[in-house]
Amino acid sequence: MIKKIYNKYHEIIQYAIFGIITVIINLLLYKVLLILKCPYIASNVISYVIASILSYFFNLKYVFHAEILPFRNESIRVLKYFSVRIFSIILDNGLLIVAVEVFKFDKFYSKFPISVLVILITYIFNKTILKKKEGAV
């Protein structure tokens, strides 16, 4: 029964596992940068970029089981993926600014619920960009 459930939701489970790993990397880098007195938005951008690069490879290989494409095609896929990430970092920064500046929430702890929301939104977009098409080689 557990195997049946896993098989049915394998992709979502894998995405969640690697999403958690990526979020941990993002949050740890963000915290280190805050400790080093880097402004919180700059810390967020730096940690997000590094985590996004890692996430691309995690999703490509382990979640969507996609192959590296020839240079031109892979370049297009990378541009699409990071276009979604640009949207995501804008959303992430916007929510972070509202949480910190408007609601006076802690710069670090406000990242947790924001990260969950951004993960859900980017999953939908990433799936359409990275997922191996049926019948594709």
More confident residue, 120 or 94: 94
**Which pLDDT band, with edges at 50, 70 and 90, does 135 fall under?**
very low
State whether residue 137 is helix, strand or coil: coil
**Which pLDDT band, with edges at 50, 70 and 90, does 134 fall under?**
very low
Q: How many CA atoms lie within 13 A of 6 on its CB side?
A: 5
Q: What is the pTM of this model?
A: 0.79
Per-residue pLDDT reduced to its tens digit, 30-69: 999 999 999 999 999 999 999 999 988 888 888 878 887 7
Tell me what the mean pLDDT of segment 71-82 comes to. 86
How much is the pLDDT for 133? 53
Q: What is the largest CA-CA distance in the chain?
A: 51
Q: What single letter denotes the amino acid at residue 72? A: R
